[in-house]
Amino acid sequence: MEETSQVNENLDFVFDFYKIMRSSNVTFAYEGEITHEITKAFSSLAESHIALTNESNALQKRVFHVMVESLQNISKHSVERKIPGSIIDGQGIFLVAKTEQEYNITTGNVVLKENIPALKEHIENINSADKKVLKDLYKEKIKFGKLSYKGGAGLGFIDMVRKTGEKLIYTFLDLNDKKSYFVLTSTIFRTK
């Protein structure tokens, strides 16, 4: 009995997933561990796919940049991990959506609520900066910032906004009293 209901659930899941993918602009969706191998595989997949389109080299490179930084963010910062205590290979969701005007790269991962204020401040700081201020922020951070023990330079969000020229769109969704789900979107306009 139980086996049948599991199988039915799987069938429903697949069909729902199919319908959602077709009715949205999402061209790529993944949920799970983000290892270095996966980061490389996804970004090179996107690279070869996008190389077949008429997009300019600059746009192709920007999409690649944002993808790599987004994937590395999940890998380094998600608190959901298959191997507890491991400092890399965090789990999360990675989505690429494409419309006539833009590419949207969205990530989702679990964060500790206690880290939200600092994260918010960091993003707001970047979102409110103009081009010149962003450049100064970047220079200051690359010069005086220290590489974290996870190998992060703290430059990912700054780089994403500088490369796309668009603000980061984000939200925190409640999971429980300690954790939230952090969703972040970066937009790359195809016409710019």
Instruction: Confirm or reject binding of residue 44 to another protein (CB under 8 A).
Output: yes
Minimum CB distance to another protein smaller for 120 or for 135: 135
Backbone angles phi, psi at 16, to 5 degrees: -60, -40
- For the bound state, the minimum distance from the C-beta of residue 125 to another protein, rounded and expressed in Å, comes to 16
How are strands ordered across the β-sheet holding 179-189?
A: 26-33, 91-98, 102-112, 179-189, 169-174
Minimum CB distance to another protein smaller for 57 or for 176: 57
d(CA 182, CA 148): 21
Q: For the chain, what is the total number of helices (H) and then of strands (E)? A: 6, 5
> Which x/- pattern over 128-147 shows residues binding another protein (rule: CB under 8 A)?
-------x--xx--xx-x-x
Minimum CB distance to another protein smaller for 26 or for 123: 123
Instruction: Confirm or reject binding of residue 125 to another protein (CB under 8 A).
Output: no
Q: Are 33 and 89 in contact (CB under 8 A)?
A: yes
Using CB under 8 A, pick the residue from 49, 61, 81, 190 that binds another protein: 61
Instruction: Confirm or reject binding of residue 64 to another protein (CB under 8 A).
Output: yes
Instruction: Confirm or reject binding of residue 123 to another protein (CB under 8 A).
Output: no
- For the bound state, the minimum distance from the C-beta of residue 37 to another protein, rounded and expressed in Å, comes to 9
Per DSSP, 177 falls in state S
User: Would you report the helix, strand and coil content of the chain in percent, each value rounded to 5?
Assistant: 50, 25, 25
d(CA 96, CA 26): 6
Instruction: Confirm or reject binding of residue 65 to another protein (CB under 8 A).
Output: yes
Q: Are 62 and 163 in contact (CB under 8 A)?
A: yes
Residue 39 token pair = 């980061």
Please report, as ranges, the residues that interact with another protein according to CB under 8 A: 36, 39-40, 44, 56-58, 61-62, 64-65, 68-69, 72, 88, 135, 138-139, 142-143, 145, 147, 151-153, 155-156, 158-159, 163
